[in-house]
Amino acid sequence: MTIQYLKSSVPHAPEQKIELRDRVTEILLAIEKGGEPAALKFAREFDRWDGDVVVTPQEIADATARLEPSVRADIDFAHENIRRFADAQRATLTDMEVEMAPGFFAGQKSIPVLGAGCYAPGGRFSHVASALMTITTAKAAGVDFVAASSPPRGETGISDEMAYAMNLAGADSILRMGGVQAVASMAFGYFGMPRVDVLAGPGNAWVAEAKRQLFGRVGIDMVAGPTDSLIIADGTASAEVVAWDMVGQMEHGADSPVWLVTDDKTLAQGVLSIVPDLIATLPEANAGSARAAWDNLSEIILCTTREEMAATADQYAPEHLHVQAADLDWWLARLKAYGSLFLGAETTVAFGDKASGPNHVLPTSGAARYTGGLSVHKFLKTVTWQRSTAEAARRVAEVTARISRLEGMEAHARTADIRLSPRD
């Protein structure tokens, strides 16, 4: 490949994660040993919240009443799109049965887990959309009990918007709690909740590490890192639109890289010159993060052909992949590695982040090479079954006995042998 970097990321030393890992281990052990009082202790320390951690139905009703009708309408719109998409995903999963031989049947069923814990971040931003994405999807999968948690913010501990969104999406219990203590409380079944079977939702490094350490005892959606995005653009794209789409994703944080892959040098140079000016128009709280992401992590890559562009995108395996180029059907058929794909300038990653329907909990840091994002599948177990008549089982029993003895497993062989003998 003959690619050229018009802007490269700045090499940096690998993060030291051992201290974080060990501290999360200590907190999880303390909460498991100490129960709810220990979880509350950490909530007081880290969340700085001294009130009740369980949100009551009356508090949800009060929060709903305080919201402007237009705000409720917007959350309703996003929820309906997310629900419709998740319902359509669920409809693609059908139980099946196949007759392996006359009288011998095998099949599969998709069974939802009994409980799910959904985390919505609440640090720099209160991620109402994350609550909708996780809770709605779990309910669409058929999960009976869904717990939800988000860090306390403001006097009520949880914003009115967050309380409304979580309740609308179907949460059966809502906690004002963040970080490791929230994840642990849902996993261990504290504060009146049953233990959950799956933990889902984005979060900071502490939340991600807690989920990683709990994996195995519970299922998780993924271990997510900082968000990332890649834009493929050709000469048909607008430099201003591309630049804004890059800046929009840099706003997530100083550790959120955005890459542009193009075969048009004029477009690349235009974006290179525009981005700093666009960042300067943002409120400083947003501009600081975007500027750091642009200066240190973002790249502009010039390719010769569209095949080179596609191959480069596959190597990066971005969380979000946005194509602003001609012949969108070709790109849809060709691209192989991404968390979610956005086709054409009429879409934008922010649509997927907030309201268009497909889930925004997606694989980061190249994990799109081997996995997709959150879907109803994460809350479902695909299990198998079989049944047989005695006559249909004979051939299977004969082969099973021989393979078992070939492997040296005599007891296995005899469980097959006994099915070859007449029984009363």
- Tell me the catalytic residues: 319-320
Residue 173 DSSP SS3: strand
Tally of CB atoms within 10 A around 150: 31
Compute the distance between CA of residue 308 and CA of residue 300 in angstroms, rounded to an integer.
14
Nearest alpha-carbon partner for 247 in 217, 211, 282, 220: 282
| Region label for 264, one of left (φ > 0), alpha (ψ between -120 and 50) or beta (otherwise) | beta
- On whether the CB atoms of residues 196 and 175 are closer than 8 A, the answer is no
Q: Calculate the CA dihedral of residues 202, 366, 9, 247 and round it to 10 degrees.
A: -50
Structure letter (DSSP) for residue 156:
T
Residue 6 DSSP SS3: strand
Residue with tokens 């409380």: 185
Tally of CB atoms within 10 A around 70: 8
Residue with tokens 């060990």: 22
DSSP 390-418: HHHHHHHHHHHHHHHHHTT-HHHHHHHHG
To which H or E segment does residue 24 belong?
helix 18-42
Compute the distance between CA of residue 400 and CA of residue 416 in angstroms, rounded to an integer.
6
Residue with tokens 């070709």: 330
In terms of Cβ atoms closer than 10 Å to its own Cβ (0-12, 13-18, 19+), residue 230 is buried
Helices (H), 263-303: 265-280, 284-296
Tally of CB atoms within 10 A around 22: 11
One-letter amino acid of 111: I
Compute the distance between CA of residue 205 and CA of residue 180 in angstroms, rounded to an integer.
10
Helices (H), 227-327: 239-250, 265-280, 284-296, 306-316
Compute the distance between CA of residue 48 and CA of residue 182 in angstroms, rounded to an integer.
13
To which H or E segment does residue 137 belong?
helix 128-141
